[in-house]
Chain A
């Protein structure tokens, strides 16, 4: 099946710094990728939809200036958490849509962000 990777798997940063998380589709090209946030004991919340070559579409309530998304190629999307604060600490998960198998998203393993 389609494989999606994320890097790093864990990151700890100081408050006020920026952190970049990468999401890659390893064996397929993904025109659309998605970024989710998962709080402890909570479900995944869609943050934004990332389309290759165009601006990301953010869900209501998600600060686009804080969570910068770049989908520069068909296999890579990045999420940058700018000026991170402790409340940004969370589990961030990306997914990618595999066009030949439409309507199915394949998920990465997630990135645990801890902001001190």
Chain B
């Protein structure tokens, strides 16, 4: 099946700093999503981005499908950005999403 690798596994930032999270996948995909899991376990949709670039406030994401990676940018980080960020892609065709192991982000005031 498809392999999904996220880096870095852990990241500690000072409030106000910027960061880039990376998601590599081993096969071509027609769907890619980024999620934020807050400290209470809730998974929040950030981006549905099979290709191209999207922005939502301080967050933006870029997927380069031909090179099999996606990047999540967080600018001017806040303590509320803390949690785990997951990317997910389908295993193949019309199959459920496979999740990476996540990047655990801690933003310190």
- Whether chains A and B associate is no
